[in-house]
Structure 1
Amino acid sequence: MMPKATVKLIVTGDDFGYCPRRNQGIVECFLAGAVSNVSLLVNGSAVSDAVQLAKRYRIPIGLHANLSEGLPVCPALKEQSSLLNKEGFFHGKMGIRAVLADGLLKMSEVKQELIAQVELFCELTGHLPHHMDGHQHVHVLPEIRHVFAQVLEEYGIRHTRVPIEPDLPHCSWIDPPLMNFYLGVEKDSLNTVDVFMKHGIRWPDIYIGLSTMGKNMSVNNILRAIDNATTDFLAKVDCAIPSNSPLCPDQEIRTVTIELMTHPGYPSVPPVGGCGEGPDDFSQSWERSHELETLKNPELQSHYKTRNVQLCAFKDL
Structure 2
Amino acid sequence: MSEQTVRWGILATGGMAAAFTEDLLREPEARVTAVGSRSVAGAQRFAERFGIPRAHGTWQELAADPEVDVVYVATPHAHHLAAATACLEAGKPVLCEKPFALSGRQTRALVELADERRLFLMEAMWTYVNPTVRRVAELVAGGAVGEVRALHASFGGRVTAPPEHRLWDPAAGGGALLDLGTYPVSFAHLLLGAPDSVTAHARLSPRGVDEQTGVLLGYDGGAMAVLTCSLLADDERRAVVYGTAGRIEIPADFYNPGSFVLHRDGHEPQTVTAPPQRGNGYGHQAREVMRCLRAGLTESPLVPLAGSLAVMDTLDKVRERVGVRYPGE
User: After TM superposition, is the score higher than 0.5?
Assistant: no
Instruction: Answer 1 or 2: which has greater strand percent.
Output: 2
Which of the five TM-score ranges fits, normalised by the shorter chain?
Answer: 0.3 to 0.5
Instruction: Answer 1 or 2: which has greater helix percent.
Output: 1
- The TM-score with structure 2 as length reference comes to 0.32
- The TM-score with structure 1 as length reference comes to 0.33
